[in-house]
Amino acid sequence: MTRSELPIDAEEYLSWLVAERGRSSNTVAAYRRDLSGYCEWLRGRKTSVLDVKAPDIDAFVAQRRSEAAPSSVARQLAAVRNFHRFLVAENRRRDDPTADLDGVRVPAGIPKPLSEEDVARLIGAVVGDDAVARRDRALLEFLYATGARISEACGLSLGDLDLESGLVRLYGKGSKERLVPVGSCARQALEQWLSGGRPDLVPTRWKRRGDAEAVFLDRRGGRLSRQAAWAAVTRHGERAGLTGHLSPHVLRHSCATHMLDHGADLRIVQEMLGHASISTTQVYTKVSQERIFEQYRAAHPRARVGRGE
C-alpha cells in the first residue's frame, strides 16, 4: 500500500457515505483527506484501523493539536470517530477506540457580513455588459439574494429556476431539496444573463453531460466550477476595495444577517439557508445584535461616558 492509498475498510466506508447517506462529492473528498492523514499516521505507528487502541488515538489527537487549528483537528476527529463507528456497526471491530475520547473545543466565531452598502459596491464593481460581466453580476446577485452555498449555485440547472414565479430549487447537503425565493434584482440580473450572456458562451459541442443544463457557464462553455466562481467573487471584491476575507460564503452570511436586521423570522432564515438545526442559524442573531449595539453606541448621545453631558 502506497502512502496515498486507503485501506479497503476506509474505501468501503467512503462508498457507504455516498450510497447510504447521500453525502456530496465535496463532503466525501474532505473525509478522504482526513482519513488519509489518519491512516498514514497509523502506518507510522505500525498499527492499523482494525488494531489501533485508545492510547494511540489520544496520541494522534495530541499531535494534531500541536500542528493545526482547533477547527481542523475537530473536523478530522469527527471523520475518524464516524469511521470507527462504521467499523463497529459492520462488525469489523468489536470495540470503538474513540468512544471515550474528549472532543476538541472550537472557539465560536461570529461571521463578519458585508454591510448593505458594501454589497451594493461589490455588485456595482462588475463593469461592462459582455457575457462574463453579465454572468458575474447574476452570480453575485443570486448568492446574496438566496443565501445559496457556492456549490449550490454552481450545481444549479436551468430546470431549477422559475424566474416567472421568483423561485429556485436548491439542493443542499445530503441532496436535501428546498425552494427559495429570488428577489427582483437577482431575477433581473439572471434574465439578462440567460437571454443576452449565456448564449454567447454556449459551445458548438458540449464536452460533459449536464453542462447544457447549467445555469452558470465558464468561458469555455462548461459548467462554472466552485474555484472559478470563488475567483469571480474575490476579483470584484478587490475592485470594490473590499479587502480581507471576502468569499462566496460571506455573501451567504450577509443575506442572513440583513434579513434578520429587517425583521425576518429566524425559522424562515433557517429554512431558506437549508440549516438542519436552528442553532446553526442562531449565530446570525448574535451578528445582528452586535450591529444594533454598534449603531446604538455611535448614535445615542448618552450611550458613552463623556457624551451628551
CA distance 259 to 264: 5
Ramachandran class of 236: left when φ > 0, alpha when ψ lies in -120 to 50, beta otherwise:
alpha
Q: What pLDDT score does 3 carry?
A: 46
CA distance 163 to 168: 8
Whether the per-residue pLDDT at 14 is higher than 90: the answer is yes
Q: Tell me which residues are annotated as active site.
A: 149, 173, 249, 252, 275, 284
Task: Enter the C-alpha cell of residue 14.
Answer: 467512503
Q: Which of the four pLDDT bands, split at 50, 70 and 90, describes residue 302?
A: low
Residues of the chain with CATH 1.10.443.10: 116-297
Tens-digit pLDDT profile for residues 76-108: 999 999 999 999 999 999 999 998 877 666 555
How does the average pLDDT of the chain come out, rounded? 87
Fold category of 116-297 in CATH: hpI Integrase; Chain A (1.10.443)
Q: What pLDDT score does 101 carry?
A: 78
Residues of the chain with CATH 1.10.150.130: 8-89
CATH superfamily ID and name for 8-89: Tyrosine recombinase, N-terminal domain (1.10.150.130)
* For range 269-282, the mean pLDDT: 83
- The strand pairing partners of 171, in sequence order, are 177
Q: Which of the four pLDDT bands, split at 50, 70 and 90, describes residue 261?
A: confident
Tens-digit pLDDT profile for residues 201-252: 999 899 888 899 999 999 999 999 999 999 999 999 999 998 777 888 899 9
Report which of residues 90 and 65 the model is more confident about.
90
Q: What pLDDT score does 168 carry?
A: 94
Q: Is residue 266 within 8 Å of residue 242, measured between CB atoms?
A: no
How crowded is residue 89: how many other Cβ atoms within 10 Å of its Cβ?
A: 11
Q: What pLDDT score does 287 carry?
A: 65
Q: What pLDDT score does 103 carry?
A: 64
Highest mean pLDDT among 23-37, 190-204, 261-275: 190-204
Among 224, 222, 189, which residue's Cα sits nearest to residue 208?
222
H-only helix segments in the chain: 8-19, 25-44, 54-67, 70-89, 116-124, 131-146, 150-154, 184-196, 198-201, 226-239, 248-261, 266-273, 278-281, 283-299
How crowded is residue 30: how many other Cβ atoms within 10 Å of its Cβ?
A: 15
Tens-digit pLDDT profile for residues 149-206: 999 999 999 999 999 999 999 988 767 889 999 999 999 999 999 999 999 999 989 9
Query: Whole-model pTM above 0.75?
Result: no
How crowded is residue 209: how many other Cβ atoms within 10 Å of its Cβ?
A: 7
Among 118, 128, 202, 107, which residue's Cα sits nearest to residue 158?
202
